[in-house]
A and B are shown apart, each in its own frame.
Chain A
Amino acid sequence: GQNIDQPTEMTATEGAIVQINCTYQTSGFNGLFWYQQHAGEAPTFLSYNVLDGLEEKGRFSSFLSRSKGYSYLLLKELQMKDSASYLCAVSPHNTDKLIFGTGTRLQVFP
């Protein structure tokens, strides 16, 4: 089975950098995904990691260490609109489904 852990809530200041961690335990997986979800809205795709290392995409970067079962999402130059929940998800081996963590609610203050 899969077990995904991430902090429940985080706060940060506009313009700052925040790192949201995700640890997972899984018997095998295809890759790790990060989604952003504003309250009451659909999750939207942010990043995908299958190999160890850092994937950079504008203000957002995601890191994966498969040996440690660890990932993080790094958000730079925070903006008020970044206030949202950030969902870590794994795709189990030989499937396309996503198993989500409970999400980290990020609040960005002026």
Chain B
Amino acid sequence: DSGVTQTPKHLITATGQRVTLRCSPRSGDLSVYWYQQSLDQGLQFLIQYYNGEERAKGNILERFSAQQFPDLHSELNLSSLELGDSALYFCASSVGAGGGSYTEAFFGQGTRLTVV
């Protein structure tokens, strides 16, 4: 158990809908990262939050947004869902401060999103 909790584990929804994925980081970790993993692709970095503020952005679609709350949990919102959004969505956390020092990232078990 990495200490990172993601809910729900599975989600099935229709195209055009909106869903929210939730992540609770390890105790003491200030950084939360979201990654998308499709069947034919590796882990794609979406976005990082550090202590409530957006710190880095990757290939995140405009239909997707995220936030980190004062209690440090994070939510990833996916809207106007398309079939191609079906993937595993992982959250990871670390103590990282964005300065580039070594910080091991611990991954949650992921949310498997299926868009039908």
Residues of A within 8 A of B (CB): 30-31, 40-45, 48, 50, 87, 89, 91, 93-103
Please, which residue of chain B has its CB at the minimum distance from the CB of A41? B109
- Name B45's contact: one of A31, A45, A87, A98 (CB within 8 Å): A98
Query: Closest A-chain residue to B106, C-beta based?
Result: A45
> By DSSP majority rule, is chain A's interface helix, strand, loop, or mixed?
loop
A96 touches B94 (CB 8 A): yes
Contacts of A97 in B (CB 8 A): 33, 45, 48, 56, 58
Question: Which residues from 23 to 57 on chain B have a C-beta closer than 8 Å to any C-beta of chain A?
Answer: 31, 33, 35, 41-45, 48, 50, 55-56
How many chain B residues touch A (Cβ–Cβ < 8 Å)?
Answer: 35
A98 to B107, CA, bound (A): 12
Residue with the highest number of chain A CB atoms closer than 10 Å, among B90, B96, B100, B102: B100
A-B contact pairs, 20 of them (CB 8 A): A31-B102, A40-B110, A41-B109, A42-B110, A43-B107, A44-B2, A44-B107, A95-B48, A95-B98, A96-B31, A96-B98, A96-B100, A97-B45, A97-B48, A98-B43, A98-B92, A98-B105, A99-B45, A100-B44, A102-B42
Interface residues of B (CB under 8 A from A): 2, 4, 31, 33, 35, 41-45, 48, 50, 55-56, 58, 88, 90, 92, 94, 96-110, 112
Please state if A96 and B41 are interface contacts (CB–CB under 8 Å): no
- When C-beta atoms are compared, the residue in chain B nearest to A101 turns out to be B42
Min C-beta distance of B112 to chain A, whole Å: 8
CB < 8 Å neighbour of B102 from A43, A44, A48: A48
Do A91 and B100 touch (CB < 8 A)? Answer: yes
Q: Which residue of B lies closest to A42 (CB)?
A: B107
Assess the B56–A103 pair: CB atoms within 8 A: no
Q: In the docked arrangement, what's the CA distance between A97 and B43, Å? A: 12
